Amino acid sequence: MEIAQPYLLFLGDVPDALAAKTGLGIVDWRPEWCLGQLRLPGCQADAGIADLTIDEAAARGCKTMIVGAVNAGGVLPNHWVAPIVAALHAGLDIASGLHMKLADDPEIAAAAKRTGRKLHDVRHSSERFATGKGTKRTGLRLLTVGTDCSVGKKYTALALEKAMRTRGFDADFRATGQTGVFISGRGAAIDAVVADFISGAVEWISPAAAENHWDLVEGQGSLFHPSFAGVSLGLLHGAQPDAFVVCHEPTRTRMRGVQHALPTIQQVIDLTIACGTLTNPAIRCTGIAINTEKLGEDAARAYCADVAAAHGLPATDPIRFGVDSLVDEIARIWGPK
């Protein structure tokens, strides 16, 4: 799947920034690929780039419109069809990370056929995955896990990749979600894989590697989330991580989209180790990543310090304060490679 750049990011009319995390994530990590954004009336998300019409984007050389917004169930809202069809007629390809395939909508399928433009469904891989085997493979792996969904697992893994490479580590980000695939150019959306093959898909994403090579595997969901725990568990078993980092958003009291209370960081550490030992008995927590976006500077630093002291592990906001302390812990245990 080759998705042509530059992109026009379609954010629809989503109610908040989290619902547009695909588009915002692409802007954060691949800003040079993003020409502008298209927002419908009522949209409450903003990627901080130019607002363009479809015709303006086409005139400026845009190649692909990315459906950079998500919703519960990953279904394409009916009122998003018209701008997608308009973009096809303007000469743009369309790429989507939704569960629903673009061509499943008859208007979009007909427009793509008329215009000869491409439809990319990133969540639907053409790869046929085997079932997971759980056999220890060479190389080192780190998995980001969460107290909830949408707490910074992808950003933490990407920040670690950048910092570890700067420090001389042989390290690669491994994408397991649609945004990560858009950013890295490879990977598989694990939440679209048939349940029996989830762990096998992760083994495919992160295959045997050189002894000192690190795969930084993007986590999904939470072992405590009633909607997504199945995906999280299969991902944990397939990644068979040597290390994991817990990602947490401190202002939440309930898990996103449900009424269940947020688990504690220690509960996540304990359950991740209990479940992860099935495929890697040596699994260990090496740090905590705190999403402090909703805290002031002083409160954020104090919270990270308190969490670090409480758990005896480095704790930081990867975006606000960097991940040097997390990399220091990895280097302390495994040594700089």
Q: What does the pLDDT profile of the chain (337 residues) look like in tens digits?
A: 678 899 999 999 999 998 998 999 999 988 999 999 999 999 999 999 999 999 999 999 999 999 999 776 678 999 999 999 999 999 999 999 888 899 999 999 999 999 999 999 988 877 889 999 999 999 999 999 999 999 999 999 999 999 999 999 999 999 998 888 888 877 888 988 999 999 999 999 999 999 999 999 999 999 999 999 999 999 999 999 999 999 999 999 999 999 999 999 999 999 999 999 999 999 999 999 999 999 999 999 999 999 999 999 999 999 999 999 999 999 999 987 5
At 313, list the tokens: 């592990």
pLDDT at 72: 64
Residue 218 DSSP label: P
Residue type at 53?
Answer: T
Q: Provide the β-strand partners of residue 283.
A: none
Helix extents (H) in 45-197: 54-59, 81-89, 106-115, 153-166, 178-184
Quote the Cα angle for 163-151-288, to 5°.
55
Residue 132: DSSP 8-state? P
Superfamily of the domain at 140-334: P-loop containing nucleotide triphosphate hydrolases (3.40.50.300)
Polymer length of the chain: 337
CA–CA gap between residue 184 and residue 29 (Å, rounded): 9
Give the distance from CA 92 to its chain's centroid.
Answer: 25
Nearest-Å Rg of the Cα atoms of the chain is: 20
Give pTM, 2 decimals.
0.83
User: Hey, is 306 helix, strand or coil?
Assistant: helix
Picking from 91, 73, 82, the residue whose alpha carbon sits closest to that of residue 8 is 91
Domain residue spans in the chain?
A: 7-121, 140-334
CA dist., res. 191 & res. 120, Å (int) = 17
CATH class of 7-121: alpha beta
Predicted pLDDT of residue 259: 95
Same fold yes or no, 7-121 and 140-334: yes
pLDDT at 140: 98
pLDDT confidence of residue 1: 60
